[in-house]
Structure 1
């Protein structure tokens, strides 16, 4: 599928090549994030593990498998011939899947250098490197060179719980969009994130912003449960649905679609939902399904 370049009035020349200083951003990230350093160490260690497991199945991906779900396509819409940036892209499978869905170019950013190295290698192995770039970057401090370069800013599943400043995240997302572009955000519903167990139902995480929450987890990864790991502590943040919507509006975006999803294809690594007869997963309490995910599409004027 061919990708047509836009006329100069719609395409900024600085969008063609990203600055090389992004490749050496780890020191900057560590300095700015302070207490978030342990999150970077946690993700670096997990990124080393991911790629040969059911969650990140590299072999399947290289044979043409897409890691996107129906909720991703429904929220994002048609991407044929468009430029997509993926915030907090991890090892890049979802990012590259947008090329297979028709995107012209994709850029993935993540604060983990290990994840970015893996994403770059995956693009090469999949024969997609000519239309994909991956760079170390902080989602709260994206390079100015990316401003106004993309039709779609995409982020999905396990995104906002790592973000301490939701308003800044939304400003950055809005900033990389062209006029008429859209943010497509799919994440775990804040009610679902509160739950630690189903039977009994135990909540151990705030529904709304209540400051940093520190967790000392067991060794391993959600994709490699039995792995031996050294860095097992994280700092995470709760954000209510109202806070998410308000932050998007404050960033100058117009809400086009907001969904709360009671039945999903996957509940991610949490294992709280049950797959039912129709093949979809539901999280029930006293028989009634509760929201597992939410989706937000917001437009830039």
Structure 2
């Protein structure tokens, strides 16, 4: 019997993360990224606790794209040793401090600094937001084409989102037929989107901010600021800083850009403790089931083997 299952979840998470780090230590023996100043930026917000998983995430994606430079938002915990490791493995990446992000009227925390950094820097480069708990399993032609055509892309929260961006009233009617809901902040906002005036002609897709492509020359903060005002009206100004609101804002922002690419969910997916198909090329190991069945370790070890050639 696995006695670990009887431990409190916070204890299990620490033990599982430590076991995962031990299993993927081989990432430190893989060739470093050779950055290119070609208009693409692979961007992540990370800290010392996710250094090794992050290296798997960014190296496995760069290995398939073979282009771009790396930029990092330090959550405040990166050590001098971490920065040395990142300098070697990521080609001396641009590292920004979270405390230096000017949030203005936007919330602090909850990954808002991550989104604002992208919006502030995308004028001349294509920025990809990449979570550290992701693994690229193989070729990603949809991403390469989106970059080549300078079209933003949306990574979905589930296959039901493949319908793509919908007018707000149509989205609410399709996904929340019974009207406004309470509970999780994302549901609270999404189920009230039809209260935004139709004259704005806004759209929305239920995506996942763990992986997102922001095309160069796209909108900056102004669009998100307008949506933030609507969120404050819908759920109250005190709740717009709750964890999850930044994901809704990211989904909204990308849904209202010019011809965003909606990634096929059978190839780009979240791990919910179920096997993925042979066509899958990218997996996001979400927190709820991140370490279930050893799938995250297996995918990471396979990626490391590919990096070693």
Provide TM-score, normalisation by structure 2: 0.37
- Structure number with higher helix proportion: 2
Higher RCO, Cα 8 Å, sep 6+: 2
Question: What TM-score does the superposition give when structure 1 sets the normalisation length?
Answer: 0.37
